Amino acid sequence: MGLSTLYGRTHVLEAELDSEWLTLPVLIYYTVDAGDGDAVPQTVTLEKVTAQIAGAEAPLNVTAMVNTDYILDLIDDEVSNADVCAGDYA
């Protein structure tokens, strides 16, 4: 995926969050805004973090229960590993 395809849409990152007593598979929903390249930097917005719990009909929104700084670090790692392609500069 090129950098330009990151902007203006919702992305989903699969991850596992660990604690002393649980490993929880989650889906992290986020958007990336390109900014203007100079005065306004690229920004990432965390939309939600969900987990599918056995027996639940729908995924559970666990955003308020997780370490937001850690989640944003995972997103930053994902975004920084995006491929740069010629179309990004067209």
Q: Provide CB contacts within 8 A for 25, sequence distance 6+.
A: 14, 15, 16, 51, 52
Q: Which pTM value belongs to this model?
A: 0.80
Residue 38 has pLDDT above 80, yes or no: no
Q: Helices marked H in 1-90 — which ranges? A: 68-80
State how far Cα 71 lies from the chain centre.
7
Show the CA angle centred on residue 28, arms to residues 23 and 30, nearest 5°.
Answer: 160
State how far Cα 89 lies from the chain centre.
24
- Reported as a single tens digit per residue, the pLDDT across 59-72 is 999 999 999 999 99
Domain spans of the chain, in order of start: 3-79
